[in-house]
Every structure is written in structure tokens, then in C-alpha cells.
Amino acid sequence: MTYDEPLPHEAALAAVQDAGRPEAVEKQHRRGKLTARERIASFVDAGTFREIGALASGAGPDGQPVPADGVVCGTAEVDERPIVVLAADFTAAGGSNGAVGNEKARRMCEIAASRGIPVVMLMDGGGHRIHEGLDAKEFAIGVDVQHLHTRLSGWVPMVGAILGPGFGAPTLTASLCDYVVAVRGTATVGMAPPPLVRAATGEVIGDEVSGPDAQAGWGNIDLAVDTEEEALDALRCYLDTLPANAEAPLPVRLASPPRRTAAAALDDTVVADPRRAYDVYDVIAGLVDEDSEVDLRPAYATSMVTMLARIDGYPVGIVANQPAARAGMLDAAACAKASRLVSLCDAFGIPVLTLIDLPGLAVGVEAERSGLGRASLRMAAAYGGATVPLFTVVARKGYGGGYVMMSGGRTFSPELVVAWPHAETAVMAAETAVELVFKRDLDATADPAERAARKREIAAAFDDRASAVRGAEGFGYDAIIRPSETRAWLADLLPTLPRHRLLQTLTPRRHAVEPL
């Protein structure tokens, strides 16, 4: 049988596609934004998108039909790997979430769960469709998509790009994603739009609160970028580092050497003087495959660096103190950032490399007010509960409880623990200890210059007590190696280790109690 004319469903499909809605498309382009279908087309491999629910329709407040009920979704491939993709259609009722659209989103979650494939969410507008939400008959049932999102977390990667207004539901949805980017100038992020904030609190907010840079600085999104193209590229790079699901093989790629200049300078980057700062990004660049880094929340808690990368083609997660920011001090935000990375890697079976160079935990009123005690214990709980292989490198300073909670030494049974030549580990720095232990002796010296000289004299007696060699004598490390030798040690281990350690627990339990 042949068909000379379009069938009814084909005519209906043509009417909801971009070509069938030229005025709506032109209006979106005037905003400087792509349409939902254009975004999907530019993100996925050509010819792989299979739309689901294209003819599903909801109703706007004026009773007119909402094409695809404001969400374009389906299956596709990215770099020849299958995904589920959902894109809010701002040209259809502002991309708001109606009952039918929620059903489509639920269907996508079910597909992702059953097939074990990542979820990609491209957000522009949205939030609950207000005229539906004002009716308890519609709203009282809740939104079970939220439950599905929480169940998907840790099973498949979930990523999101905020490409337009994102107040309310899109922000909450993004918070459940593993990785989120937002576009400067067009994206907004926050719990409520400015008119609602003004009505509720009297506050007037703008980009200084809801803009991508502000939200990135507070850790609510991973990255602020300038264009939609950059946002989609960032999602691709992230997905390329993770497996399709928690049980799928790790995406091992062809090995490439580190950046040549960074590798050549690695032994000189970490200087002996513990008071001199260096940029830990230079260290990481000398260890990992070139251009493999995916930096997570770089604008947040800058004394801590967390990222995904590759070593000899194998994915690894990296937790590293940043001596160039507050000497690498551990505060509550830094602990939360590290906890998140360890949790992500443990969910997907990715080994974790920890680079330690910190003076200890932050102290003072602000540290107490921020809940550092709880935050540091959450970090320790993440390390202690991790089943993936752990590697610890003591790059330089490792003092106090911060050293212990960051998997210092054999605290959390790492597969490998090494120190670099200038490593120092102790309960606290010698000069600080002298002030506490020898305070009476020092206070007996009235002259400030004599007191300082006496302090240096006492501290000098402890200089070699904190050294790497001393730590190795107590078998705190497997070896002391040069920084330039570290990559080879890790490259030898990564292909041989199981995804998860065989000894996962010493006690029968469901899980530890989450710190407050």
C-alpha cells in the first residue's frame, strides 16, 4: 500500500514541529536562544533522536492546547552511547510542567531506569503550571517524578543545563542532578522568582542572587558558561567520563600523556617550604591525561578542588586541597565538596585519588557557626563508607584531624598511600605545638625577641619528627616517591583493581546515620 497524502498523525506531527510553528520559533530566536528541538539536535548524534510523546497535549490557562505539553523528550545517542533526553519547550506555555508533561517525564525516567542509561535535562522556563496547581484535585496527588529522580540518583548519571528561566521546579530538579551548568545572561536559578520573593519577604533580588555566577559561587550549580554551545559541550565531557550506569563498565579511553609542560615541571611545583603556595591544578595537570579534566564546582569552596579525569585512559575522581586558596584549609564548604565527589565516585565505581596538603581544619567562631564538626564528619563518613579503591598522596602538609578525615595515611584503608619528599605529618605544626606545650617556658622570657628565638629553638628540635622519612619509618606510607613517579604507580594499579572492594563492611547494617 502507498500513501499519496500525509496521514492524519503525520499532519499532526508536522504541526507541532518547529517548521509548523514559525512564529514561536522566531520569538525564541529573538531571545537569543535555541528551541527545545534545536538544542536536542545540536547535542545528540545526528539522526539518533527518537521523540516520545510528540502528540501528547495539555491545556494552557486560556484553554488552548499546549504542544507536547511543554516538554520535548525521547531517546538518542551521544558519542554513540544511548541516553534519555528531556528539553523544556519555552515556546509552549513557558515550558511549564502540566499533568501530561509530568507523565512524559515519568516515562523517560522509567526508560532510563530499566535500560540503565543517563538522563539529560535541558531546562528553560518551567515550574508547575499554576492554573493546574491551584486546583487541589490536580495538585494534592503530588508529583511522583520527584520520587523517580531520587531513585535514579546513583544508578544512572543525571545531568542538567539551565538555559533560561529556572526558578522553582527546574532549580529543584537540577539539585538532584549529578552535574549542572547554566548560561550567563539567559539562565536564572533560585527557589522563587523575584516577584514572589518580594511578595513574601520584601526583598528585591536580581542577578547578584539568581545569576549563574552567584549560584556557582554558592555551590548550587557546577559551572557558569557564556553560551548554550559551551553548556552542551560541558555535559558531553562529563558523560564521557562516567559509565552508563552503576553496573556498566567504566568508559576506558585510549591513554594520552599529561600536558608536557606540566609533567616536566611536576617535581618542582610542590616546593619544600610549607608556607609557599602553589596551584594544585598544575599538579593535577602533570598527573592526568591531557584535556581529560572535568572540574566540579570550581567557583565554590576554592580551598578544595574536586574533579573527574583520566590516568592512562582510566577514569578517576580527584579530591585535592588547594594551597593557593586559604592554604588548603578545610572549612565546612570544602568538606561538603569533597563528600559529594567521593559519593559520586562510589556510586559509579570510580576510584578516588586524594592529594593532601592542608594546615588542618578551620578554627574560630565562623568555623563553629558553619557546622564544620558535622561537615567534616560527613566527609569522613563518605570516605569510610566508600567501596571503590582509594589512593592517598601526601603532597606536603598533613596536620591534625583534617589529615585523618581526608583519608590520611591508612585511615580508610587505601589501596595505595604514598608521600612526596617534602611531606610533613603531625597532630599540628611544630610552632603551634610549642605555643601550647612550652607556654610556661616561653612566658618566662620577657623580651619579645628572646621569646621568638626560644620558640624557634624549641621548634627546631621537632623539625625532623614530621618528615616523610619519619612517617615511612612508622609504616604510615607504602612508599616515598617523587611527584613525577606517581602517575606510573597509579597507571599500574588501575587496570588490576576491582571496581568495588571485596570487604565492604565489618558490621551488619543498612547504612550509617547521616550527620545532621
Q: Average pLDDT in the 234-252 region?
A: 97
pLDDT band for 508, please (50, 70, 90 cuts).
low
pLDDT at 131: 62
Comparing 64-78, 195-209, 500-514, the range with the smallest average pLDDT is 500-514
C-alpha cell at 7: 496521514
Predicted confidence at residue 97, as pLDDT, reads 79
Q: pLDDT at position 435, please?
A: 64
Residue 293's pLDDT is 97
- Identify the pLDDT of residue 47: 96
Position with higher pLDDT, 183 vs 200: 183
pLDDT 10s digits, 458-473: 666 666 778 899 999 9
Would the pLDDT of 374 be above 70? yes
Separation of alpha carbons 113 and 497, rounded Å: 27
What's the confidence (pLDDT) of residue 516? Answer: 63
pLDDT value, residue 461: 62
Range ranked top by mean pLDDT from 53-57, 237-241, 402-406, 428-432: 237-241
Q: Mean pLDDT across the stretch 128-153? A: 76
Distance CA 359, CA 55 (A): 60
- CA 509/CA 511 separation, integer angstroms: 6
For residue 243, is pLDDT > 90?
A: yes
Average pLDDT of every residue of the chain: 89
Task: List pLDDT tens digits, range 268-302.
Answer: 999 988 889 999 999 999 999 999 999 999 999 99
Please state whether beta strands 119-123 and 158-162 pair in parallel, antiparallel, or not at all (unpaired): parallel
Angle, helices 260-269/483-493, rounded to nearest 10 degrees: 120
Tell whether the model's pLDDT for residue 434 goes beyond 60. no
At residue 192, φ and ψ (nearest 5 deg) are -155, 150
Please report the pLDDT score of residue 505 as a whole number: 54
Please give the pLDDT value at position 57.
84
Q: Does residue 418 or residue 427 have the better pLDDT? A: 418
What value does the CA radius of gyration of the chain take, rounded to a whole number of Å?
27
pLDDT band at 442 (very low <50, low <70, confident <90, very high): low
pLDDT at residue number 431? 65
- Under the banding of pLDDT at 50, 70 and 90, the label for residue 476 is very high
Cα 175 to Cα 179: distance, rounded to the nearest angstrom: 9
What the block records as the C-alpha cell of 5 is: 497524502
Least confident of 115-119, 127-131, 284-288: 127-131
Contact 288, 491 (CB under 8 A): no
State residue 98's pLDDT score: 81
Q: According to the model, what pLDDT value does residue 78 have?
A: 98
Please give the average per-residue pLDDT across 17-21, as a whole number: 88
Q: What's the pLDDT band for 515 if we cut at 50, 70, 90?
A: low
Q: What is the pLDDT of residue 443?
A: 67
Q: For position 464, what pLDDT does the model report?
A: 72
User: Between these two residues, 310 and 147, which has the higher pLDDT value?
Assistant: 310
Query: CA 256, 259, 260, 265 torsion: positive or negative?
Result: negative
Provide DSSP, 256-277: -PPPHHHHHHHHHHS-S-TTS-
Give whole-number Cα distances, 195 to 31, 128, 158, 204, 434, in Å: 21, 16, 30, 8, 57
The pLDDT of residue 259 is 95
Instruction: Please say if the pLDDT value at position 73 is more than 80.
Output: yes
Query: What confidence category does residue 192 fall into, taking pLDDT thresholds of 50, 70 and 90?
Result: confident
pTM of the predicted protein model:
0.91
Check pLDDT > 60 for residue 433.
no
pLDDT class of 484 with cuts at 50, 70, 90: very high
241, containing H or E segment: helix 228-241
Q: What is the number of alpha carbons within 13 Å of residue 443 lying toward its C-beta?
A: 6
Residue 148 has pLDDT above 90, yes or no: no
Query: Is the pLDDT confidence value at 93 over 70?
Result: yes
DSSP 148-194: HHHHHBTTB-EEEEE-S--BTHHHHHHHTSSEEEEETTT---BSS-H
**pLDDT bracket for residue 182 (50, 70, 90):** very high
Angle at 500 between CA 494 and CA 502, to 5 degrees: 115
User: Given this model, what pLDDT does residue 2 score?
Assistant: 66
Residue 146's pLDDT band (cuts 50, 70, 90): confident
pLDDT band at residue 315 under the 50/70/90 scheme: very high
